[in-house]
Amino acid sequence: MGNIFNEMLNPDGSVRGHYSQIHDWVGSLSKANVERALKEAEGIFRRLGITFAVYGSEEASERLIPFDIIPRVFAAAEWRRLTIGIEQRVRAINAFLHDLYHRQEILRAGRIPKDIILQNSAFVPQMVGLTPPRGVYAHIIGVDIVRVSETEFYVLEDNCRTPSGVSYMLEDREAMMFLFPDLFKSHRVAPVENYPAMLRQTLESVAPAGAGSEPTIALLTPGIHNSAFFEHAFLADEMGVELCEGSDLFVEDGYLYMRTTQEPKRVDVVYRRIDDAYIDPLTFRPESTLGVPGLFDLYRAGRVTLVNAPGTGIADDKSIYTYIPDVIEFYTGEKPILKNVPTWRCGEPKDLTYVLDHLAELVIKEVHGSGGYGMLVGPTSSAKEIEDFRSRLKATPKNYIAQPTLALSASPTFTTAGVASRHIDLRPFVLTGERVRITPGGLTRVALKDGSLVVNSSQGGGTKDTWVLED
Amino acid sequence: MLGRTASSLFWMSRYIERAENMARLLEVGYRISLMPRAVEGHRDEWLSTLTSAACQASYFGKHKDITTKNIIHHLLFDDDNPSSVRTCLKTARNNGRAVRTALTRDVWESLNGTWNEFVQIKPGSITTDRLPGFLDWIKQRAMLFRGALLGTMLRHDTYFFSQLGTFIERADNTARILDVKYYILLPKPSDVGSDVDIQQWATVLRSVSAHRSYRWFYRDSTYRPWLVAEFLILREEMPRSLTFCYQWITRSLDGLAEDYGKSYGCQREASEIYARLEAGKMDDIFQSGLHEFLQDFVKANNQLAAEIAQTYNFP
């Protein structure tokens, strides 16, 4: 790996301007201070019930995501540049989705091979010809971005389905304001607290035409055993909307209703946090008990809005990812501002040969995987892990893509051995309704193990509060 | 409010009440097992604890013999026992978690804090000498929950559904404890009034925290079966009596009817049960059989719970 960009320090060791106070503050903290703060923070999170379920680990089925008290800071100008790139990407993705489910100009133009879209399980043929309110498909996107230098940012993934993590963004800020109020007096940190209100406005703005001026919104969750249940409950509470499971909703006489203790109540917008395949057993997976029978027909008839729209997964599928720069150019006529990571498609023989020869240098990901499961980080893997992966890769090469190991930027982080540099990424949250809105900040994930590049919470990553300083 | 929310509120309170009652029953069983003459009677006393807690079947499904250690584990920590304190606290919290948005922060934190502390405790560490302190802790946590509920929840449907869960469970529990003593532990005619007999009645009162209030109330130093039964069934002053529970059940159901502007069969049914209890006389109850009376009551109580669930669209 080449030079690692240090978020706080310049290459000559001097402190970047927007970090100057944080740098001094970190220096002034004693180990005892930090331990007390972390303990208090843990108390706050535990008490609130902010936990994260880890699939496949029995004893710790409910865990806290580790929280680091040193914030990640963006200067106002840096952030502005970044948001321009994000907005460009998000607008292009919505245009792309609209096109794929209508005239498919981009396929006709030959910019993306037809098969890769039409044969893709994330493409939902039932969406063809349907135009959701305001033409918006991916209302909520969490773009995963890594930084490699002062000005270079790469997008790792677009997360257009049901991105999670926004509750950590909000709670990390709460915790920081509680633990270190003085830091907020000495910095002008752009607020993130109005995210739930913005989300609610976004959902209201895409209500179906017949919904009236105060549309009813429901958040549809798979239930308490889902790993992100806490977030579902948290957002429903913050927005003041009902948190529903599939069995709480039913379709009757052409409308969607909630089962209440009184008369059934009509629902206009469903912010669903369950996957496409489960939303309606009559249209998609018949064995699903999480969804609502008949929901998709109502959606097609324009009686209810689903957020995000079904079929958005085609835009963040890892096999489509490599085409997103073309997508941006095709719909905006502009060069992409944010870069894509160079990617080898293991399904292509030439690429596969290269990947097999360079496994120890590359990151290999499953095309349909998420959450850091089923991936190989070559440089930090043992010879045995690499060989095991090699045989999996050879068996089904089409299931994998490979990318160079990026030198993710590093940020000062508290560890058991004191302050040390740890790799981080960023997931800003983007809302699209009437207009595109990007919350100033987002979720910064940090790989807590020395040298590790895996920031996923399911793999032992932690989070940091993310600050955007105002001018 | 969603029907599921109402259901979760109901079961949240019901399971906390059940956890508390389980702690009380264990406390009594433990006291008796300490008594000098308990050596030979040991088995029977734990058996009656199991019976009162309705955990006989689940216990003997796993254990052949009664041992203090196994009983404690089964009633406190066993995941396979649907009424163990662990299962109750977990289910109560899961229900609370599912309706987090309907709860005040105090109520949620009491539930969540209890569970987080409970899971830190290693079952093996609760040896008999540490048991009383641990049972006290369980009771205190249940009381904290109830205090948070009473002190912070708005008096509307959320509150009424939680109260219904508490009092339906409590009524069931009181009736069952009384019935177990009266019917299953029925002494041989020669033992009526014997030490064992009196001690068992004392046990019943203790398990509902009423052994002292009985003395104050009746100004009597002896536990008399008739009076104990009257105390636990008819006396509105006694906060775990059937009449008291039904006073609160009817109040909560009337509250719902008023809130929603609509009254249903369950309101009528509860009022009828309450009216029968209010007009009840111990003479009549004993005449027609206390056991039959209690059996009928438990059945009617269960039916009412089912009726409430149906009326308010519990899933």
- Please provide the DSSP assignment of B257-289 as one string: HHHHT---HHHHHHHHHHHHHHH--HHHHHHH-
Instruction: Specify if A266 maps to a domain.
Output: yes
Instruction: Specify if A430 maps to a domain.
Output: no
pLDDT band at residue A369 under the 50/70/90 scheme: low
CA separation for the pair A194, A212 (Å, rounded): 24
Nearest 5°: the CA angle A226, A229, A230 is: 145
Establish if A297 touches chain B: CB-CB under 8 angstroms: no
Contact B315 A247 (CB under 8 A): yes
Establish if A224 touches chain B: CB-CB under 8 angstroms: yes
> Which of chain B's residues have a Cβ under 8 Å away from the Cβ of A262?
1, 260, 262
What are A155's strand-pairing partners?
A145, A340
- The conformation of residue A6, written as its DSSP 8-state character, comes to B
> Which of chain A's residues have a Cβ under 8 Å away from the Cβ of B262?
262
Alpha helices in chain B (DSSP H): 3-34, 38-52, 56-60, 68-76, 85-98, 105-120, 131-152, 157-179, 195-207, 211-218, 225-233, 242-260, 265-279, 282-288, 290-311
Minimal Cβ distance to A49: which of B101, B112, B161: B112
Percent of chain A with pLDDT over 90: 74
Contact A261 B313 (CB under 8 A): yes
Cα B250 to Cα B244, B258, B295, distances in angstroms: 10, 12, 21
Q: What is the pLDDT of residue A58?
A: 40
Query: Higher pLDDT residue, B72 or B190?
Result: B72
pLDDT exceeds cutoff 70 at B128: yes
Instruction: Specify if A259 maps to a domain.
Output: yes
Query: Count of domains in chain A?
Result: 1
Segment A202-211 shows an average pLDDT of 95
Q: Are B302 and B171 in contact (CB under 8 A)?
A: no
CA separation for the pair B78, B70 (Å, rounded): 10
Three-state secondary-structure class, residue A431: strand
> Which of chain A's residues have a Cβ under 8 Å away from the Cβ of B315?
247-248, 259
Establish if A261 touches chain B: CB-CB under 8 angstroms: yes
Contact B1 A258 (CB under 8 A): no
**Per-chain mean pLDDT for chain B:** 91
Segment A446-470 shows an average pLDDT of 87
Distance from CA of B230 to the nearest CA of A (A): 36
Cα B146 to Cα A382, B14, B116, B159, B244, distances in angstroms: 54, 11, 18, 11, 16
Q: What is the pLDDT of residue A59?
A: 41
Q: What is the CA radius of gyration of chain A?
A: 22
Contact A47 B113 (CB under 8 A): yes
Establish if B1 touches chain A: CB-CB under 8 angstroms: yes
**pLDDT tens, residue by residue, A227-240:** 888 899 889 989 99
Distance from CA of A411 to the nearest CA of B (A): 32
User: Structure pTM?
Assistant: 0.87
Minimal Cβ distance to B1: which of A49, A234, A261: A261
Q: Which residues contact B91 (CB under 8 A, 6 or more apart)?
A: B11, B15
pLDDT exceeds cutoff 90 at A377: no
Query: Higher pLDDT residue, A95 or B186?
Result: A95
**pLDDT tens, residue by residue, A13-35:** 999 999 999 999 999 988 888 88
Dihedral, CA of residue A91, residue A94, residue A97 and residue A98, to nearest 10: -100
CB atoms within 10 A of CB A415: 14
Q: Are A150 and A7 in contact (CB under 8 A)?
A: no
Distance from CA of A395 to the nearest CA of B (A): 42
Structure tokens at A23: 């740098």
Q: What is the pLDDT of residue A454?
A: 80
Dmax over CA atoms of chain A, in Å, equals: 70
Segment B229-251 shows an average pLDDT of 96
pLDDT exceeds cutoff 50 at A57: no
Contact B4 A247 (CB under 8 A): yes
Instruction: Specify if A349 maps to a domain.
Output: no
**pLDDT tens, residue by residue, A306-337:** 999 999 999 998 889 999 999 999 999 999 99
CB pairs under 8 A between A and B: 60
Cα A262 to Cα B187, B256, B259, distances in angstroms: 50, 10, 10
Instruction: Specify if A260 maps to a domain.
Output: yes
**pLDDT tens, residue by residue, B275-306:** 999 999 999 998 989 999 999 999 999 999 99
Looking up tokens 């009828």 gives B272
Distance from CA of A347 to the nearest CA of B (A): 44
Establish if B312 touches chain A: CB-CB under 8 angstroms: yes
Q: What is the pLDDT of residue A62?
A: 64
Contact A247 B260 (CB under 8 A): no
Looking up tokens 């302050």 gives A419
**pLDDT tens, residue by residue, B187-209:** 666 666 777 778 778 888 988 88
Query: Higher pLDDT residue, B4 or B100?
Result: B4
Instruction: Specify if A241 maps to a domain.
Output: yes
**Per-chain mean pLDDT for chain A:** 91
Distance from CA of A47 to the nearest CA of B (A): 6
> Which of chain B's residues have a Cβ under 8 Å away from the Cβ of A237?
100-101
Contact A248 B3 (CB under 8 A): yes
pLDDT band at residue B17 under the 50/70/90 scheme: very high
> Which of chain B's residues have a Cβ under 8 Å away from the Cβ of A48?
109, 112
Q: What is the pLDDT of residue A448?
A: 87
Segment A84-100 shows an average pLDDT of 97
Instruction: Specify if A257 maps to a domain.
Output: yes
Establish if B104 touches chain A: CB-CB under 8 angstroms: no
Range of the domain at A264: 209-303
Interface test mutation site (partner B, options A244, A260, A261, A289, max chain B beta carbons within 10 A): A261
pLDDT band at residue B235 under the 50/70/90 scheme: very high
Q: Which residue of B has its CA nearest to A47?
A: B109
> Which of chain A's residues have a Cβ under 8 Å away from the Cβ of B116?
46
Q: Which amino acid is at B134?
A: F
> Which of chain A's residues have a Cβ under 8 Å away from the Cβ of B113?
47
pLDDT exceeds cutoff 60 at A463: yes
**pLDDT tens, residue by residue, A243-297:** 999 999 999 999 999 999 999 999 999 999 999 999 999 999 988 889 999 999 9
Q: What CATH number corresponds to the domain at position A270?
A: 3.40.50.11290
Q: Are A228 and A280 in contact (CB under 8 A)?
A: no
Q: What is the pLDDT of residue A79?
A: 97
Q: What is the pLDDT of residue A1?
A: 45
Q: What is the pLDDT of residue A253?
A: 95
Establish if B315 touches chain A: CB-CB under 8 angstroms: yes
Please tell me which of A356-370, B70-84, B217-231 the model is most confident about, judged by mean pLDDT.
Answer: B70-84
Query: Higher pLDDT residue, B64 or A49?
Result: B64
The complex scores an ipTM of 0.82
Establish if B4 touches chain A: CB-CB under 8 angstroms: yes
CA atoms within 13 A on the CB side of A277: 7
